Homo-oligomer: A and B are copies of this chain.
Amino acid sequence: MKKVTILDIAKELNVTFSTVARALNDHPAISAATKKAVRETAERMNYRQNKIASSLRSGRTNVIGVVVPSLRVTFFSSVVAGIEQVMNANGYNILLYQSNETLDQEKKGIETFLQSRVDGIIASISTETTDYGAFHEIIKRKTPLIFFDRTIEQLDMPSVTIDDYKGGFIATEHLIRQGYRRILHISADREISIFKERLRGYIDALEYYNIPVDEELIIKGNFSLEFGKSVIREARLSGLKFDAVFALEDYTAMGVLQQLLEFKVKIPDEIGVIGFANEAFGSLVTPQLSTIDQQTLAMGKEVAKLFLKLKKDEMTGEKKLEKIVLDPLLIIRASSERHK
């Protein structure tokens, strides 16, 4: 079972292998008859193009590298799903790498992508990434680079994100409209811009509605279900008064919900709760958790489309930096809906 190459097909048909190559690539200057004959024998001989050889010669691989922190986070696997769908539909393949939130692995991933001569790189950076060397390398190599969600602003690259500021704003606004006034916000202690943006949205919404911003109501920590619970426990101990909670992400919000229920607090009557991310469990828990949807699949598709557009613009010589910002969606559920 020797592998068959275009040369074998050429011999079979008494033409040169370049004619075969052209026919296979649907070159315009080949007669329909030849094309038909070539395709038929290719099929018959079970020929299969060698993309490696093709890539080496042409300089294009039709592969794009995708680095994400972890596929085990629904957000990322969902975005990757979107990227993959659109890219495959357009003849590209995805090389996948997980950074596991470490700078070291992120670098290694980018390094292999570059060695594999990918046609582009899509990335969402790790929480550890403060050294941008690997990304500078991508740019130096003139490999197209697109960020999504977690970007590096200084690099000024095309990106697709959601408007976290707006997400923070509409979450807070919703609580205000439901009549809540002392809204506790749980934020992160890390310097990640998306969380700072959500916080900024929270503050601006309060100000917009003339509600005083109370620093005591802004609590920062290492977000998790457990942290959400502990925030509520400590608030009770310290006697902190609040009538709603806006948590930076759903698991933390879930912790809040669980602890409040344990304390027999009525949700949403006494205290309203809203999270962020629209994790699958939100619609399944009791009471159902209000949240902000980040349009993950759409984000993936947008990233892919942006890449394809970039390629096209490159050919037509256009050059503009696109930063797509998607709208967050307010998902109102029982945990925060006081007035029907």
Could you tell me the distance between the alpha carbons of A198 and B91 in the complex, rounded to whole angstroms? 39
| Residues of chain B contacted by A80 (CB below 8 angstroms) | 71, 77, 96
Could you tell me the distance between the alpha carbons of A112 and B48 in the complex, rounded to whole angstroms? 9
Interface residues on A, range: 35 or more
Copies in the complex: 2
Cβ of A140 within 8 Å of any chain B Cβ, yes or no, is: yes
Cβ of A267 within 8 Å of any chain B Cβ, yes or no, is: no
Cβ of A127 within 8 Å of any chain B Cβ, yes or no, is: no
Residues of chain A from 79 to 95 with CB closer than 8 A to chain B in the complex: 80-81, 84-85, 88, 93-95
Could you tell me the distance between the alpha carbons of A279 and B95 in the complex, rounded to whole angstroms? 27
| Interface 0/1 of A271-301, CB less than 8 Å to B | 0000000011100111000000000010000
Cβ of A29 within 8 Å of any chain B Cβ, yes or no, is: no
- Determine if B95 and A63 form an interchain contact, defined as CB atoms under 8 angstroms apart: yes
For A286, give its contact among B71, B100, B114, B286 (CB under 8 Å).
B286
Q: Nearest Cβ in chain B — how far from A139, in angstroms?
A: 11
Could you tell me the distance between the alpha carbons of A88 and B84 in the complex, rounded to whole angstroms? 20
Stretch at the interface among A50-58, A212-220, A238-246: A50-58
Could you tell me the distance between the alpha carbons of A100 and B142 in the complex, rounded to whole angstroms? 33
For A97, give its contact among B51, B71, B93 (CB under 8 Å).
B93
| Residues of chain B contacted by A88 (CB below 8 angstroms) | 97-98, 105, 108-109
In the complex, residue of chain B having the shortest beta-carbon distance to the beta carbon of A286: B286
In the complex, residue of chain B having the shortest beta-carbon distance to the beta carbon of A258: B284
Cβ of A126 within 8 Å of any chain B Cβ, yes or no, is: no
| Residues of chain B contacted by A72 (CB below 8 angstroms) | 77-78, 81, 297
- Determine if B98 and A112 form an interchain contact, defined as CB atoms under 8 angstroms apart: no
* CB contact under 8 A between A84 and B56, given known A284-B284, A286-B285, A297-B72: no
Q: Nearest Cβ in chain B — how far from A303, in angstroms?
A: 14
- Determine if A112 and B96 form an interchain contact, defined as CB atoms under 8 angstroms apart: no
Q: Nearest Cβ in chain B — how far from A96, in angstroms?
A: 5
- Determine if B94 and A140 form an interchain contact, defined as CB atoms under 8 angstroms apart: no
| Residues of chain B contacted by A100 (CB below 8 angstroms) | 85
- Determine if A98 and B81 form an interchain contact, defined as CB atoms under 8 angstroms apart: yes
- Determine if A93 and B95 form an interchain contact, defined as CB atoms under 8 angstroms apart: yes
* 15 additional contacts (CB under 8 A) given A51-B112, A71-B77: A1-B141, A1-B142, A48-B111, A50-B117, A52-B116, A70-B81, A71-B80, A72-B297, A77-B81, A88-B97, A88-B98, A88-B108, A93-B95, A254-B284, A285-B286
